[in-house]
Amino acid sequence: MGAKTFCPICEEEVPVEAFKEVYVSPYNNEEYKRYECPNCEVHWWEPLKIIPEFYESEVFEAYIAFHEGLRELPEWCKPFFQFFLNHIKGKLLDIGCGDGVFLKYAKESGFEVWGIDFDKNSVEVAKKSLGVDTIFAMSLEEFYAYAKKNDLKFDVITFFEVLEHQDKPKEFLTMVKELLKDGGYIAGSVPNRDRLFHEMEWKYFHVDFPPHHFLRFSKSSLEKTLQLSGFSDVVVYELDFPFREIFPYIEKKLFGNRLDSLKVKLKAWIVGSERKAKAYAAEELSKVGSKGYAVRILENLRNLCFTTLCYFLHW
């Protein structure tokens, strides 16, 4: 019999030669192979192994915003405050809390907030921002042992844009379930592999690849994953694409990466730091810089890209 590998969610056997794609990470030159589970429909990459220092090293410029405390509430967190039951309060644990921006809003909504993240730099930002001592630089395994020792249980556990990073997702969800109080709730988000512009995003941004993301979910595969993990009353919302974020995709379609260095120089001139410049989108600069005319130049450049694309589409 040929060698087998196993789905990290439902443990379905898949032949090792049945991978669908090969990816070589520029971060570590590791070759990864993508598999698709015929049972639960989850896609995963092997070798399946988290590299914690990947996040602190700021390989992706987005993590600069975490470490500098520059973020606003992400779009994928907002539905929690729109759809979650208003009468549910109590202890809330946010796994992968990052800089604590979601916890800030949860605290203002009346929750007793707790958070964990193995990115120590982000945790320091979160603790300083919220002024609480219930945020820890720990893995879930470490916090699970701590919670068991101290008899901690939670009314709500959240994990936004976290599940796709896991190398042991089945064990992750088991620990989450055991940390919940009876009748407790979970909430979270994952990237939708069927989302608008996903192929362009995979081509140009490389965020949805290992060793950053190891799992890819569709709406149905996420539902199956949660149900197989023992959660009931599962409701999965498929969010609309925020069209104000269309400009980066148009820019990449038209120019690839050719404008990146120019944009960083212009943004650094506005914010005073090349490092911080990498963390800001052009649309955000009006909040941080005094050079308003330079911000308008960047915005007009984006608008020109959009107009050009519309022209090409028309013809």
Give me the architecture of the 54-189 domain, per CATH.
Answer: 3-Layer(aba) Sandwich (3.40)
Q: What is the pLDDT of residue 177?
A: 97
Q: What is the pLDDT of residue 41?
A: 97
- The pTM of this model reads 0.83
Edge-to-edge order in the sheet of strand 43-46: 21-24, 31-36, 43-46, 215-216
For tokens 């709406």, what's the residue? 219
Listed in sequence order, the residues at least 6 apart from 187 whose beta carbon sits closer than 8 Å to its beta carbon are 80, 84, 156, 157, 158
- The secondary structure of the chain, three-state, reads CCCEEECCCCCCEEEHHHCCEEEECCCCCCEEEEEECCCCCCEEEECCCCCCHHHHCCCCCHHHHHHHCCCCCCHHHHHHHHHCCCCCCEEEEEECCCCCHHHHHHHHCCEEEEEECCCHHHHHHHHHHHCCCCEECCCHHHHHHHHHHCCCCEEEEEEECCHHHCCCHHHHHHHHHHHEEEEEEEEEECCECCCCCHHHHHHHCCCCCCCCCCEEECHHHHHHHHHHCCCCCCCCCCCCCCHHHCHHHHHHHHHCCCCHHHHHHHHHHHHCCHHHHCCCCHHHHHHCCCCHHHHHHHHHHHHHHHHHHHHHHHC
CB-based contact 306:315 (threshold 8 Å): no
- The secondary structure of 222-283, three-state, reads HHHHHHHCCCCCCCCCCCCCCHHHCHHHHHHHHHCCCCHHHHHHHHHHHHCCHHHHCCCCHH
d(CA 205, CA 185): 33
d(CA 184, CA 202): 36
CB-based contact 80:71 (threshold 8 Å): no
Neighbours of 133 (CB within 10 A): 8
Q: Where are the domains of the chain?
A: 4-48, 54-189, 244-314
Q: What is the pLDDT of residue 53?
A: 80
CB-based contact 99:125 (threshold 8 Å): yes
Q: What is the pLDDT of residue 308?
A: 52
One pLDDT digit (tens) per residue for the chain, 315 residues = 579 999 999 999 999 999 999 999 988 999 999 999 999 999 999 999 998 888 877 676 677 777 877 788 998 999 999 999 888 999 999 999 999 999 999 999 999 999 999 899 999 999 999 999 999 999 999 999 999 999 999 999 999 999 999 999 999 999 999 999 999 999 999 999 998 877 877 777 778 999 999 999 999 999 999 999 999 999 999 988 777 667 777 766 667 666 677 666 766 666 666 666 566 665 555 555 555 455 556 556 655 555 554 444 433
Q: What is the pLDDT of residue 311?
A: 47
Q: What is the pLDDT of residue 66?
A: 79
